[in-house]
Amino acid sequence: MAKMSNELLIESYISAVSLKLSPDFISLLEYEMLRRFITLHN
């Protein structure tokens, strides 16, 4: 996941949530976003 761009990570997270994919996969994306200090604003 280290090679994934921030933009792709955010897009993947939004898609995963909207498609109701595996909670484990969503958690993995959330962890990586936190590690990179990325936050989403509503």
Give, for all 42 residues of the chain, the pLDDT tens digit: 779 999 999 999 999 999 999 999 999 999 999 999 999 986
Q: How far apart are CA 13 and CA 33, in angstroms?
A: 9
Assess if residue 1 is contained within a domain.
no
Number of domains, the chain: 1
Query: Domain holding 22: CATH number?
Result: 1.10.287
Q: What pTM, to 2 d.p., does this model score?
A: 0.88
Assess if residue 15 is contained within a domain.
yes
Assess if residue 31 is contained within a domain.
yes
Assess if residue 18 is contained within a domain.
yes
Q: How far apart are CA 41 and CA 18, in angstroms?
A: 16
pLDDT recorded at residue 42: 67
Question: Residue 14's domain spans which residues?
Answer: 6-35
Assess if residue 41 is contained within a domain.
no
